[in-house]
Amino acid sequence: MYVIRDLSPRIVVHVGALFPLALIGWDLAQGQLTANPIEQIQLRTGKTALVLLALSLACRPAANLLGLSQLLTLRRLLGLYAFLYVSLHLLNFVGIDYGFNFRLIQKDALVEKRFIAAGLLAFLCLLPAALTSTEGWKRRLGRGWCALHFLVYPGAVLAVTHYVWQTKIDLRQPILYASVVVLILAFRLPGVDRVFLRR
């Protein structure tokens, strides 16, 4: 009974994180990804990555504010799923949208489309944390592990910047995502959650 209770939050995360991917696969098979399926996949994987990344970052302040220490056990799982969607987002962009034309990607990122540069930098910030997420790497890196995983925070800022810069018309949703991420990061500052609880 205790084992099931311990596993149930992780099962919820697994199901919730994989559901958007299953929905993309279903809509693709049914031909329901609008007239521009590449753009739809890009948008869906990007938004899902942002949501999962924000949830991962929110685990610590939520645990402190609500007194739910079990939330901390979900951080790594949520972060890895966020990186999965980031990787799919990048693969769709580089492989399907640009056909692995790295020269064109470089030209657009450096000259015409700054959101590409922000997205690539966000990926590079999240990559080391994903690769060293195991307990074995945590022991091997020691104090350096925390410094390496600190890159997730600028990675999150770059990710929402990428979303804001990429949107051309209606900025309300990107700004909402950015505001949520900034609020979560503010609660990660030392002592902020304690101040909030006192007030």
What pLDDT does residue 109 have? 81
Mean pLDDT of 39-68: 92
Q: CA 79, CA 86: separation in Å to the nearest integer?
A: 10
Is the alpha carbon torsion for 38, 12, 81, 18 positive or negative?
negative
Q: For 165-198, how does the pLDDT look when each residue is reduced to its tens digit (9 = 90+)?
A: 999 888 999 999 999 999 998 887 766 656 665 6
Q: Where are the domains of the chain?
A: 2-190
Q: Kindly report the pTM of this predicted structure.
A: 0.90
For residue 173 the two structure tokens come to 């949703």
- pLDDT, tens digit, 9 for 90 and up, residues 89-99: 999 999 999 99
